[in-house]
Structure 1
Amino acid sequence: MSTSTTTAPGGSAPGERRRPATPYAKLTAQVQAAGLMQRRTGTYWLRIAATTAAFSAVVTGAVLLRDSWLVLLVAAPLAFVLTQFAFLGHDGAHRQIFASHRGNEWAARIFAALLNGLGYGWWMGKHTRHHQAPNKRGTDGDVESDVISFYPEAAASRRGPLRWFTRHQGWFFLPLLLLEGLNLHAASARSLVSSSRRAKGRWLDVALIATHWSVYLAALVLLLGPGRGAAFFGVHMAAFGVAMGGAFAPNHVGMPVLPREAKVDFIRRQVLTSRNVRGGWFVDLVMGGLNFQVEHHLFPSMPRPNLRRARPFVQRFCAEHGIAYTEEGLLSSYRSIVRYLNEVGLAARHPFSCPLAAQLRA
């Protein structure tokens, strides 16, 4: 390892000992020197404009087909476009789009709450905890579920019919994504109801979400009628769940789940629990840049368009420090998810342990 040191911007005072640069600081310096932390506001404006144009085209299609059941063909594209807005909301929440905190927050609220009906405050709370300790029990709520068991202890605690389900949960995981859209909206609504009335931005979220559902449901009933409107809503919610859940699932499902007492340094905590997904522009699009999950977790505020360019720096760093860097193809990542969940489900009959998780515990 190099013995280089970091200094304060103005230099160290005479006789002051300089602290050795940490490995993460050196990696950060490399990506900063390559300009990868700089804003890509122009690129984001183009993406926003393109997504808005796609949204307008989908809405126009729904209006033109409003008197036919063929209008249901528009429901899935609408879900895909709104998922793209959700990805933009995610980027805004990570301060990737604009230089100002206020600009990013407003962008995130509009894309999440107004256009998708999901609370910005709810999302920020759960997602912040996830980034602090991904896949760690007791901190990351994404590994705690009443339906899916993401670690052996959860599987072993299942009783009754759920015990049988857990043994085969890997095969049910992908079909369950059809319900993920409804689950996200229900969790967001529960958070707004249960949160303090003084919670920052709570009433703004309530107003934006109320506007979203008022306009959306009124349009379904007035434009399509109760029958077609209900069918359109069902197809749209199912497709939205697949689009959202399908983009987020490969990032961490099947990677080590850390026990509550685990003490792991920042870099290993972020890298060892994350999975990248290989692919070109199509994978970038459908996963909203989250296919570069390792780089995103190491540099959460790095603009999405720069994550691919940061990948070689992170891969080289991990190779030099003996840190496992996981990357799979899209289909391979889903096979890994199904296999892992079925193996965890075996804990409903006998103990199962993940070797890498056991290594981290040690």
Structure 2
Amino acid sequence: MTTTAPAPREGTRRRSGSRPATPYAELSALVQAAGLMRRRYAYYWARFAALLGALAAVAVASVLVGHSWWQLLLAAALGLVVTQMAFLGHDAAHRQVFVSGRWNDWATLVLAPLLTGISATWWVRKHTRHHAAPNQIGTDPDIAPGALAFHPAALAGRTRLGRALARHQGWFFFPLLLLEGLNLHVQGVRSLWARGPVKRRWVELSFITVRLGGYVGLLAWLLPPGIAASFLAVQLAVFGLYMGCSFAPNHKGMPVVPEGERLGFLRRQVLMSRNVTGGRFVTFAMGGLNHQVEHHLFPSMPRPALRRARELVRPFCARHEVPYTETSLVRSYGIVVRHLNDVGLAAGRDPFECPLVASWRPRG
């Protein structure tokens, strides 16, 4: 069941003899006092070692299975393991793993370009823009116009056929995710070859060349061409589907903010984010992204602390009348599909007819 706290009304509280404190500053003090920003080295090293062991197990199994179509099951397993590696890279990019920024940067390079095959620089730039203004038109790249329209304004300029397809785009969402793994690799490589400054460009290009070139070369050496090509296709499809199914429930179907609209940090992050319930299994499966509200409020908070942070954030939002949304995983997918179909059908309506957005706008 989807749950939300009461309707919003922003405010601040004044401490005796001091300047007014924002609600976010108050919440941040609670989180710091609870020790939730402390690094969790044992957790991350254990997770990294387990994933390296899983990669080794898939490699050994592939050699033992040999020239058999059972390899496709191992390809699917590899897609799952690589996605979990990407989740670790996400944590390192957010400075969740180490205190040292340099250590986090190098951990991201190892986990993203070298082990996952995705450009760290490209992804960090894109993801940073998303965190700065989630679901804001013209700012959040995750809702930029593309194959899918995440808000009616993104339908502008489409042909009649494109608009007709958009009316049912929700049903295309999950099939399209099967191509997302390939897209992530292609976009990352293109960004590294593009003009302009790229931090550690040649390190990333070297890592990605070793990762992608070595992977394809190993498949070509180990398996017949047909099985090798199918192995690669299945692994990329599972990777893209798993990544998309983990990130999509967090913001898709939440309010879309008009371009130029200004909101306070607490409201911006909470109102545009959705948590996914389901306990520890869902937390493991989604790499902690199910605690999206807490992650957006405290991006550098280690993954294991997010569940405890929810116990502070949810009642805090209720006290300050900031809507806090969470729902089940299955229901969140239904919301995503319905939202995308509604966007396709709503081309003639005001894309900002939303009670929440209307309440933020100044009166008079």
Length-normalised TM-score, structure 2: 0.92
CA RMSD of aligned residues (A): 1.6
Shift of 1:182: 1.1
Letter aligned with residue 68 of structure 2: S
| CA distance in structure 1 between the aligned counterparts of 2:31 and 2:275, rounded to whole angstroms | 18
Q: What's the counterpart of residue 15 of structure 2?
A: 4
Partner SS for 1:327: strand
Q: Deviations over 1:181-234 (max 9, x none)?
A: 1111121122112142x4211111111101111110001100012211101011
| CA distance in structure 2 between the aligned counterparts of 1:134 and 1:307, rounded to whole angstroms | 19
Q: Deviations over 1:221-273 (max 9, x none)?
A: 00012211101011111100111111100111111111112111111111111
Partner SS for 2:77: helix
| CA distance in structure 2 between the aligned counterparts of 1:164 and 1:147, rounded to whole angstroms | 13
| CA distance in structure 2 between the aligned counterparts of 1:356 and 1:301, rounded to whole angstroms | 31
| CA distance in structure 1 between the aligned counterparts of 2:175 and 2:261, rounded to whole angstroms | 33
For residues 319-330 of structure 1, the aligned pairs below 5 Å read: 319-330=318-329
Tell whether the 8 Å contact from 2:13 to 2:20 is kept in structure 1 after alignment: no
For residues 1-362 of structure 1, the aligned pairs below 5 Å read: 2-4=13-15, 18-196=18-196, 198-348=197-347, 353-356=352-355, 358-359=357-358, 362=361
Cα distance, 1:356–1:88 mapped onto 2, change above 3 Å: farther
Cα distance, 1:326–1:111 mapped onto 2, change above 3 Å: same
Shift of 1:304: 0.4
Shift of 1:18: 3.4
Partner SS for 2:115: helix
Shift of 1:352: 5.5
Length-normalised TM-score, structure 1: 0.93
Is there any run of 5+ residues in structure 1 with no aligned partner, and where? 6-16
Cα distance, 1:216–1:356 mapped onto 2, change above 3 Å: farther
Q: Deviations over 1:66-88 (max 9, x none)?
A: 21111111011101001111000
Cα distance, 1:4–1:358 mapped onto 2, change above 3 Å: closer
Shift of 1:19: 2.3
Is there any run of 5+ residues in structure 2 with no aligned partner, and where? 1-11
Aligned residue-pair number:
350
Q: Percent identity?
A: 53
Greater RCO (CA < 8 Å, at least 6 residues apart): 2
| CA distance in structure 2 between the aligned counterparts of 1:225 and 1:175, rounded to whole angstroms | 27
Shift of 1:348: 3.9
Partner SS for 2:137: coil
Shift of 1:158: 2.2
Q: Deviations over 1:269-313 (max 9, x none)?
A: 111111100012221112100000000000000000000000021
| CA distance in structure 2 between the aligned counterparts of 1:125 and 1:47, rounded to whole angstroms | 25
Tell whether the 8 Å contact from 2:89 to 2:108 is kept in structure 1 after alignment: yes
Cα distance, 1:361–1:174 mapped onto 2, change above 3 Å: farther
| CA distance in structure 1 between the aligned counterparts of 2:134 and 2:348, rounded to whole angstroms | 27
Partner SS for 1:116: coil
Shift of 1:21: 2.1
Tell whether the 8 Å contact from 2:256 to 2:352 is kept in structure 1 after alignment: no
| CA distance in structure 1 between the aligned counterparts of 2:201 and 2:360, rounded to whole angstroms | 39
Shift of 1:320: 0.9
